[in-house]
Amino acid sequence: MAVRFRLGSYTPVEGDPLGRSSVGFFPRMTEEEAWKAGRGCWKMSAEKLPRVRFALVVAEGAVRAVAEVTDFTAHGDRVALEGSLLGAGHPMYDAYIGQPDPVDNGSMNPVGYVALPEEQQFLMRACACGCGATSERDFLPGHETRAIMDRVREHFDGNPLKFVQWIDNTLASAAIVSGRQPS
């Protein structure tokens, strides 16, 4: 699944969580500038976010940047994507850069999701539990529990309580080191 971010007009900002001095589109914007402006921070579907593999940044009705998504960061109730710009020769780039918005559905929402035919070959990946199966998600259903329990058995003598206590202690220590209040 791909996500499309539609940029508005260029606007200077202060206190941006990504450290940007401006957001939005301006004429002669480079692809890198479009990605920087468009990768966040947006309200996104928590259900769809783990399935997003590509991002398209659109402005003035045309795709201005195409990136492969590698991660995301939360900023309150909003999300910023991490990823790398794609270039000429990549099927997603070649099909969409400079082309009309593929999610032009009349919605006022600047965030739109779409299954694009060119991305299908990139969607399947190895299940992160190590079972050898493939999935469009990080884990096949239920396999995240398998991966967690494998680690509990290996590192915590099979005792889930030891694992939970270790997580709580680690997070509390990290909060103290960073000066935040433990949650």
Q: Name the residue ranges covered by the structural domains of the chain.
A: 2-122, 126-178
pLDDT, position 179: 66
pLDDT at 182: 56
* Structure tokens, 161: 């309580």
Buried-state track 80-116, b at ≥16 Cβ within 10 A, e below 16: bbebebbeeebebbeebbeeebbbeeeeeeebbeeeb
> Mean pLDDT over all residues of the chain?
91
Residues of the chain with pLDDT under 50: none
For residue 40, CA distances in Å to 3, 21, 24, 59, 145 come to 12, 13, 11, 14, 30
* Nearest to 23, CA basis, from 53, 52, 59, 54: 59
Residue linked to tokens 């270790």 = 166
Q: Between β-strands 78-85 and 111-114, what pairing exists: parallel, antiparallel or unpaired?
A: unpaired
pLDDT of 102 reads 92
Q: Could you read off the pLDDT of 64-81 as tens digits, one per residue?
A: 999 999 999 999 999 999
* Structure-token pair, residue 109: 């929402």
